[in-house]
Amino acid sequence: MDNGEMKQKLLQLREQLQSTAATRDGSAQVVELDQSKVGRLSRMDALQAQEMAKASVARSQRALIQIRAALERIENNEFGICQHCDQAIAPLRLQVDPTVLLCINCASAEEDKS
């Protein structure tokens, strides 16, 4: 897959995330805690759903930042180059996740440090 195809894939991913943002953002709004309107278990369910929606919004925001950075790397002819060792990242690795920053060797070394 060449950089043009990767750019298209990244743009599609960005579009998907942005198109579902309104639904996710609405689910993360403040939960009504009026006992006369909903029971205790319903409020607990609503609070849990709200926290899950907030986590989803945060994941989406991180993904959008990663996509923006990958698009910038394409524009700067730095896409597909490991940020630690300056070696090429395997094309199959980029097909799975075009936002990766490290080759498999450097990524493994980072995991070993954790």
Instruction: Clarify whether residues 3 and 36 are in a common domain.
Output: yes
Amino acid letter for position 4: G
pLDDT attached to residue 44: 79
Amino acid letter for position 72: E
**CA–CA distances in Å: residue 103 to residues 21, 43, 54, 77:** 31, 46, 31, 17
Alpha-helical (H) ranges within the chain are 3-27, 40-75, 91-96, 104-113
Instruction: Clarify whether residues 73 and 84 are in a common domain.
Output: no
Domain interval for residue 37: 1-79
pLDDT attached to residue 92: 95
Question: What global pTM score does this model have?
Answer: 0.76
Instruction: Clarify whether residues 66 and 86 are in a common domain.
Output: no
Task: Please state the length of the chain.
Answer: 114
Instruction: Name the domain count of the chain.
Output: 2
pLDDT attached to residue 25: 57
Per-residue pLDDT of the chain (114 residues; tens, 9 = 90+): 789 999 999 999 999 998 887 666 555 556 555 555 556 677 778 788 888 888 988 999 999 999 999 999 999 999 999 999 999 999 999 999 999 999 999 999 999 987
Eight-class DSSP state of 82? -
Instruction: Clarify whether residues 86 and 70 are in a common domain.
Output: no
